[in-house]
Structure 1
């Protein structure tokens, strides 16, 4: 590698890393109030807060890297132009296209990196955020329960628990299930709140109980004894909106996106949103190749624009 290439790469990488930190911080400012509000509202631990923050940064990286590369290339050539190094290189016979060759090589590397971030890292980050919501929902379900108090936090249910053991076992459970046209009453000796990871559901498992069910049309009163009975809990809060739903396009990997697109085409359902996310996985990485030429072109602006004029234009 020529000394000129190493010099340009060193300058560009230093500006790129600086711009990456600033760009990521700016993009994070939009999410930070929501994250702080979520932490305070649901009393999240500091480790959970850091996990949320890390996954959010992962989802933003596929956007911040191309922007930082554009700024890095612009500032590199802007500095060359202001220090008259660009003019000296042109006088020595070094063309503009020769100067952007090392940036183009760096852009090819970033093309692969951003492609992996957009297609695999970002969906994984969104999935892990959803998983964290799921874990928080289970803890909040236990948090809302108070011994010897009626609780209507869960959608369509009124719960009463006589006692909660140190092992988080529920004892003396009474439930009024109002989710059906005909309400049901359930009583159980013991119970526990569990997580169904694959279905992304919070479940209340009752053991050794009785279900009371009155049928007004038939004028009959039914009594069912059960050894084990599961009830899906739905939090009647914003937190409950993030769990128990179908995966969004941004949470799907490329092969899963193609599978959903084919299924929706066969079922004649709208699928353009999924196609958009499929093409987005290639568009954002390709932006790095475009910025390899656009950034230097903006950097060598006329001197009258002053220092960092190309950066302002970009």
Structure 2
């Protein structure tokens, strides 16, 4: 019993360094995916360095929901690949310790990953997304010229093309304004005005473009007719499209990704109609538990792969591990695609990846513990790979 406890502590400690390295590496990769978004804010909207760093920090909780299970899998896989290549697993089996006997530290390690991921999923991600929305709205209110460049057709606003000849930043005035409005399916409106102002309504959390002494030309797509209307004052509400496309939801209304676990349950219990928002909320509710549970599923799979690939190169084992993770993520993505479908329940969509991947992991674990190769073709490949290595 004392020997087993020593081995378990040793195995647990061996998984910590690769876990931390993978956490840093994968988090960095996910942050790099936001570089274009951040660059757009810095170049076009004069966002300061402190706000850029704060925004990147607020993205991290969302990334960690996926990074932690991936890091758990890769750390377990790396540890068992090393044990296999150094023949430590063979020595342990000779000493009477089976592969099942090495599972307790792995289960504890996966449990820690589960708790961390669950914390990020239930608390961190809603807080992060809500904070990002608040930050972007602060940026918007402090930059009335958001997305507007002189003598350029600006398409940062949904279904509206905006051209401004001159922007007076001190007075907040726009000169020689041209607007093409396609928000109506049947009517396309073009608005021309010599001057206007752009301001932000904090109460409604929207931008409003107010034009003066201009003219509206309305083209009816159905009747093929044109109407011209003059005005002294004309207001247009602007909906930001590309500037903050990564931030879902509008105004003070929370979307499902900003809701905590209790808020999601409360919304689902009070929902009268099973519309698209209802199914999105239901998907989000199941996702908050199913993705953290992937730490156990991927961890057990990693044990099987690491012990099974004892004659393979480490790079081959890591590549195979990434393939299985992408397979898991593919199944999860399918659940997202059909999240609004009544015939594909969210429970199935969010839990099928764990069921399928977990089934594969348990199958491999049993086969590996009984020292049977999973696929004869794979075994032949590994032997040839080992021969080339020698």
The partner residue of 2:313 within 268, 282, 306 is: 306
Q: For residue 387 of structure 2, what is the aligned residue in structure 1?
A: none
User: Bigger relative contact order, structure 1 or 2, given CA contacts below 8 A and separation 6+?
Assistant: 1
Work out whether residues 170 and 192 of structure 1, in 8 Å CA contact, stay in contact via their aligned partners in 2: yes
User: Deviations along 1:120-139, whole A, 9 cap, x unmatched?
Assistant: 10111111111121011112
Q: For residue 255 of structure 2, what is the aligned residue in structure 1?
A: 248
Q: For residue 22 of structure 2, what is the aligned residue in structure 1?
A: 19
The partner residue of 2:107 within 96, 104, 109 is: 104
C-alpha deviation, 1:299, in angstroms: 0.7
Aligned counterparts of 2:298 and 2:240: Cα–Cα separation in 1? 46
1:89 aligns with 2:92: yes
User: Deviations along 1:31-67, whole A, 9 cap, x unmatched?
Assistant: 2222222321212100111111111122101100000
Q: Residue 141 of structure 1 aligns to a residue in which SS?
A: coil
Please tell me the root mean square deviation across aligned C-alpha atoms, in Å. Answer: 4.4
Q: For residue 288 of structure 1, what is the aligned residue in structure 2?
A: 295
Flag the 1:199–1:91 CA change in 2: closer, same or farther, 3 A: farther
Flag the 1:25–1:164 CA change in 2: closer, same or farther, 3 A: closer
Flag the 1:236–1:311 CA change in 2: closer, same or farther, 3 A: closer
Work out whether residues 234 and 240 of structure 1, in 8 Å CA contact, stay in contact via their aligned partners in 2: no
Aligned counterparts of 1:76 and 1:57: Cα–Cα separation in 2? 26
Work out whether residues 120 and 253 of structure 1, in 8 Å CA contact, stay in contact via their aligned partners in 2: yes
Flag the 1:11–1:19 CA change in 2: closer, same or farther, 3 A: same
Gaps of 5+ in 2: 174-180, 182-188, 210-234, 322-390
TM-score (norm 2): 0.60
Q: What is the number of residues matched between the two proteins? A: 291
Flag the 1:232–1:65 CA change in 2: closer, same or farther, 3 A: farther
Q: For residue 239 of structure 1, what is the aligned residue in structure 2?
A: 243
C-alpha deviation, 1:305, in angstroms: 1.9
Gaps of 5+ in 1: 172-178, 186-190, 205-230
Q: For residue 41 of structure 2, what is the aligned residue in structure 1?
A: 38
Aligned counterparts of 1:297 and 1:236: Cα–Cα separation in 2? 49
The partner residue of 1:274 within 263, 269, 281 is: 281
Aligned counterparts of 1:92 and 1:144: Cα–Cα separation in 2? 68
C-alpha deviation, 1:261, in angstroms: 2.1
Q: Residue 293 of structure 1 aligns to a residue in which SS?
A: helix
